[in-house]
Structure 1
Amino acid sequence: MTRQSTKTPEEHLRRADPVLRAVIDQVVRAGARPAVPPDPAQAADPNRPTDRYGVLVRAIISQNISAGASRSMYEKLKGRFGGRMPTPREVLDDDADELFRTTGLSRAKTASLRSLAEHVVTGKIDLERMHELADEDVVARLDTVKGIGTWTADMFLMFHLNRPDVLPVGDLGLRRAVERAYELPELPGPSELERIAEPWRPYRTLACVYLWRTAETTPQV
């Protein structure tokens, strides 16, 4: 009878990559260890209350801006709707120019929010069944929304569906953290990042969180 491994995701990462072991030690010493390490046993529970639409709204707002600017725009969006997240129907019924003017969102992000709302209202995307899809299928569905690309889909997989083995190769903060930790001469490209991250499987999500924590650049989603 074969004994199953009892290694935790963190233990796997420590043993698989000495550089990442040092990163984990650094984060732990700083008291910034992730509160709930992503783990297959902690996969998204379809029976718990969710706000998948709200998560994607936050992800769209957060694209290519600082965490502080993202929070400010998010609060302005909620303020326009009485201090709460608007429903998809409310976004579509609102005046697009006024939404752009009062929230500080770019016209491109305003268009993305409206595209997401339209996909939800028409049923082109069923957010409440996203947990049933494989990672690549989630990315493919979300990619049909204007302005949602692989980065936003990766953040949704990592921080909401709690998928354990996601590697967002396009994230600048992650690439910078890897450049520093591995003492690279320049930012790693997608293929080099994939190569470096190969030993982290099947816990690449957790590895990324530790690397983000070294620079306090964890995406705000």
Structure 2
Amino acid sequence: MSKKPLYWNIAKKNLSKKDKVMSSLLQKYSSPSETILTSRKDIFFSLCKSIIGQQISVAAANSIFLKFKKKCKNKVNAKTVSNLSFIQLKSCGLSKQKVKGIKNLSKQILDKTFNPRLIPKMSDEEAILYLSQLRQIGRWSAEMILLFTYNRSNIWPLQDIGLLRAISKNYKKNYLPPERFVKLLKKRFSPYCSVATWYLWRSIDPEPIQY
């Protein structure tokens, strides 16, 4: 894992001035031992983890990913996965669609029809569209990759259930919170929506998530 993003401390000061609720969350989770956003800087690893975690609980996703990692002999890369059979991958607990997504990802990285090196040069929206061309990767998964792998500073995943729950809880809104209000917060927190997202997640989950 890498160190925290360079913008992190500046973002916290900025958000504290803009929003009382965010200021309170930042103070509550300010302990030196508090986990913060870092990056594995391994897009294949992160994309596999994202595909595996789709539409299942965090506990189930972690269990399946450990089996997947073991099947890869702790070398989660495109070459290792390409050498595993469909049945071997499915035996980890993966659905057919998820196996196809992971196999397709390894193929595209190996034949260079998908080039992760292009992503740092793209805007957030360009990168989301590029990542979304991959099988099993939609907008939400692409946003998670930009947040956790590339540590982009202004990601606000509107489709994320955890974020919407946290907004409802902290801003005293019914669930689902009004879309207009969620977009208002995005405007308020820009250009540091990623940091706001992180602390809102933290307010509802004792286990910080990583991809």
Q: TM > 0.5 between the two?
A: yes
Aligned to 2:133: 144
Pick from 66, 90, 97: which aligns with 2:57?
A: 66
1:33/1:210 contact within 8 Å kept: no
Segments of 5+ residues of structure 1 without an aligned counterpart are: 1-6, 39-43
Pick from 18, 21, 24: which aligns with 1:19?
A: 21
2:132/2:139 contact within 8 Å kept: yes
1:73/1:103 contact within 8 Å kept: yes
Distance (whole Å) between structure 2 residues aligned to residue 25 and residue 119 of structure 1: 44
- The reply to whether residue 98 of structure 1 matches residue 121 of structure 2 is no
> What is the TM-score normalised by the length of structure 1?
0.82
2:41/2:150 contact within 8 Å kept: no
Percentage of identical aligned residues: 25
Q: State the secondary structure of the residue aligned to 2:29.
A: helix
Detail structure 1 runs of 4+ shifted over 3 Å in the superposition: 31-36, 189-192, 217-220
Cα offset, 1:26, TM superposition: 2.5
1:167/1:205 contact within 8 Å kept: yes
Letter in 1 for 2:28: Q
- The reply to whether residue 75 of structure 1 matches residue 87 of structure 2 is no
Letter in 1 for 2:80: E
Aligned to 2:79: 89
Segments of 5+ residues of structure 2 without an aligned counterpart are: 1-8
Distance (whole Å) between structure 2 residues aligned to residue 103 and residue 198 of structure 1: 42
Greater Cα shift, 106-115 or 143-152: 106-115
Cα RMSD for the two superposed structures: 2.3
Post-superposition Cα deviations, 1:171-220, rounded to whole Å, max 9, x if no partner, equal: 10111000000000221254431222321111000001001111126433
Pick from 7, 10, 15: which aligns with 1:8?
A: 10
Greater Cα shift, 57-66 or 163-172: 57-66
Larger Rg: 1
> What is the TM-score normalised by the length of structure 2?
0.85
Letter in 1 for 2:210: Q
- Corresponding pairs, count: 202
Distance (whole Å) between structure 1 residues aligned to residue 83 and residue 74 of structure 2: 17
Aligned to 1:54: 45
Post-superposition Cα deviations, 1:127-146, rounded to whole Å, max 9, x if no partner, equal: 13321211111111111111
Greater Cα shift, 90-99 or 174-183: 90-99
2:148/2:210 contact within 8 Å kept: no
2:11/2:192 contact within 8 Å kept: yes
Distance (whole Å) between structure 2 residues aligned to residue 127 and residue 34 of structure 1: 27
Aligned to 1:220: 210
Aligned to 2:193: 204
Distance (whole Å) between structure 2 residues aligned to residue 188 and residue 179 of structure 1: 6
Q: State the secondary structure of the residue aligned to 2:143.
A: helix
Distance (whole Å) between structure 1 residues aligned to residue 47 and residue 112 of structure 2: 16
Distance (whole Å) between structure 1 residues aligned to residue 44 and residue 178 of structure 2: 31
Distance (whole Å) between structure 2 residues aligned to residue 133 and residue 197 of structure 1: 21
Task: Return the structure number with greater relative CO, CA threshold 8 A, min gap 6.
Answer: 1
Post-superposition Cα deviations, 1:49-79, rounded to whole Å, max 9, x if no partner, equal: 9422111111211222232222211111121
